[in-house]
Structure 1
Amino acid sequence: MSASVTDLLTSRIPRIGDRGDRTDVVAVVKLHGVITPTPSPLARGSINLAAIESALTRAFDHDRLKAVALLINSPGGAPTQSGLVAERIRQLAAKKPEVPVLAFCEDVAASGGYWLACAADEIYAHRTSLVGSIGVISGGFGFTGLLERFGIERRLHTAGENKSRLDPFSPEKPEDVEWLGKMHAQLHELFVGWVKERRGDRLASDADLFNGDVWLGEKAKELGLVDGLGNLREVVEDRFPDAEIRVAEPKKPLLARLGVGAPAAALLEAVTQRVLWSRYGL
């Protein structure tokens, strides 16, 4: 059976390892931005499995790969996407057990950002990095007073007594808040379990380790959240002096390749990101 046109074209695209040289490589994947399932029209400032899959695959696809470095700068976001990306990293790493995965925390590796860092075998941070925030948070707004002010009648029809839980246009119910608290507790337990699984006995026995707080790099090292202080270049040059650093870029969406964006979507994305980053003074 003859190959399709797509297969023929794809077969001619050089992979990160097909450069015709025998240079050792440390492949770098940038995990920058808010973790969200919502696609960005310009693929900037957001992390999800769909956006980062191609970069991860390229990073691990090298016949002289010495290490994979995750360059992390994220205030967190969606727990499911955090888990999916972290699991994909471990799946790829399992195919090359001799290749270490190193995470480098930049400004922030907090909440989901730290979840991603834990996918690495070793974690490094800068002295000024904010690391941790092992907790769960959600927020919203209530618009009942606004509706009354403008004389707007809310009409909501459901089948199932809990279908309208936490509806922002209805008064908040204590039982709904209790339900949300239970969900948060379950997610927090999963987060803590992941950190313990990945960090093991490197973690300090500190009662405040999982209370949602963040720490600077030095304290994070004392608590066992990171293995050392340093940046990507100095660590790579020390560990792999003969290796070349190569960044594995993800494939960009069509709009990004054409230089076209959606102004409304970009504005909404910017506001959402601003809120998340501002929690860490950035």
Structure 2
Amino acid sequence: MKRQLLIAEFLSTPWALMPERMNAFASVLARWQAGISASDDVIAGVHADREARDNKRAQNTRAGGGAIAVIPMYGVVTQRGNMADDISGPGSVSTQRFSACLADALADDAVGQILIDIDSPGGSVYGVSELANEIMQARSSKPVIAIANSLAASAAYWVGCAASEFYVTPGGEVGSIGVWQAHQDYSAAMEEAGIKTTLISAGKYKTEGNPYAALDEDAQAFMQSRVNDYYQSFAKAVAKGRGVSIDAVRNGMGQGRVLGADAALAEGMVDGIMTFDEVIKKMQKSSKQGRTGASRLAQAQNELKILG
């Protein structure tokens, strides 16, 4: 029964995650429930994906160089990380750890610009709004650019929209603007197994939505209200980041679907289509122009002082 409680808790979390990933989650949750260990092939695949992720992180960080801090957002987004490493090959990324990396980049005088390198299907909504707000605030200190390289879906798209510029690779995808959660009713299975659970609680709604009974209308309405609240925050953040109305987000931008690069650009979901290297070159060029402009301004100020 401990596994069933874990599954119920997992599903009841509000997710800003690609719905297709539910299939992967469902298979792993079913394995957990049955007490079956992952096969050697699955474990080998997870390790291979993790190694590829680490290599990509190292390579892209080197490509950025000292003046451009590349902060990766790879895998399922969670508040504290690592809870989905055996569910998703790309692993997971913690919003708390990402926030710490962002703070380090802002405090480093050698860093002139920040690039958020995203390859994520999204994840839990917890901590995402706070991280997006931090990125918005960071833009006043240093340029913050984001790239979907090659997937920025749901919570990851939420984060990407907080950057001052947002790009997607030619073969990349963005979107999946929406929130979901689930409830599982184990009452029939438990009755068949001869198990009867009696809940003892205090507080009118304390046991609302428990997995030992069917979901009643009041509980479902409350769960829906939670999803609606997070969706409103999501849509509002996208609207602010992309400079459009909330209605434009709700009634366009895929309406929960993931869109390819061309369609996303047509919907105003990104600022352009570029490879990772092209974005790096664009940022480097911008940095050089900024330094040249600063040098010319300093020279002009010195000339004015001499004339004065």
TM-score (norm 2): 0.64
**Structure 1: gaps of 5 or more residues:** 1-22, 245-282
Aligned 8 A contact 2:117 2:146 in 1: yes
Q: How does 1:204-223 map to 2 (within 5 A)?
A: 205=248, 207-209=251-253, 211-223=255-267
Residue among 131, 152, 171 paired with 1:109? 152
1:30 match:
72
Whole-Å separation in 2 of the counterparts to 1:156 and 1:26: 55
Moved over 3 A (4+): 41-44, 201-206, 241-244
Q: Confirm whether residue 142 of structure 1 aligns to residue 185 of structure 2.
A: yes
Shift in CA distance, 112/45, structure 1 to aligned 2, threshold 3 Å = same
Paired residue type of 1:144:
S
| CA separation of 1:242 and 1:179: change in aligned 2, threshold 3 A | closer
- Give CA deviations for 1:139-194 in whole Å, capped at 9, x if unaligned: 24221111011100111111122111111121211221112112211211111111
Selected match of 1:229 from 249, 268, 273: 273
Q: Which residue of structure 2 aligns with residue 125 of structure 1?
A: 168
Distance in 2, matches of 1:136 and 1:42, equals 18
Give the distance between the partners of 2:223 and 2:248, measured in 1 at CA.
29
Instruction: Rate the CA distance shift 1:176–1:51 in 2: closer, same or farther, 3 A.
Output: same
Distance 1:202 1:67, change over 3 A: farther
CA distance in 1, matches of 2:243, 2:256: 19
Give the Å deviation of 1:39: 3.9
Greater Rg by CA? 2
2:136, 2:162 within 8 Å by CA — same for their partners in 1?
yes
User: Deviations along 1:109-139, whole A, 9 cap, x unmatched?
Assistant: 1110101101210000012222111111112
SS of residue paired to 1:237 = helix
Residues 135, 210 of structure 1: 8 Å contact kept: no
Conserved? CA contact 1:24–1:242, under 8 Å: no
List runs of 5+ in structure 2 lacking aligned partners: 1-64, 289-308
- How many matched pairs? 219
Q: Deviations over 1:218-251 (max 9, x none)?
A: 111111110000122112213414979xxxxxxx
Counterpart position of 1:58: 104
Change (3 A) 1:210 1:78: same
More helix by share: 2
Deviations 1:245-267 (A, max 9, x none): xxxxxxxxxxxxxxxxxxxxxxx
What is the CA RMSD across the aligned residues, in angstroms?
A: 2.8
What's the TM-score, normalizing by structure 1?
0.70
Structure-1 separation of matches of 2:220 and 2:84: 36
Q: Report 1:130-279 matches (<5 A).
A: 130-201=173-244, 205=248, 207-209=251-253, 211-241=255-285
CA contact (8 A) 1:102 1:121 kept: yes
Distance 1:152 1:67, change over 3 A: same
Work out the CA distance in 2 between the residues paired with 1:85 and 1:202. 22
* Matching of residue 75 in structure 1 with residue 118 in structure 2: no
Question: Partner amino acid for 1:82?
Answer: V
Contact kept in structure 1, 2:253 and 2:264, CA below 8 Å: no
How far does the alpha carbon of each residue in 1:75-102 deviate from its partner, in whole angstroms, 9 at most, with x for none? 11221311122222233333x1xx3111
Counterpart CA distance in 2 for 1:236 and 1:192 is 29
**Bigger relative CO (Cα 8 Å, ≥ 6 apart):** 1
Specify the SS of the correspondent of 1:80: coil
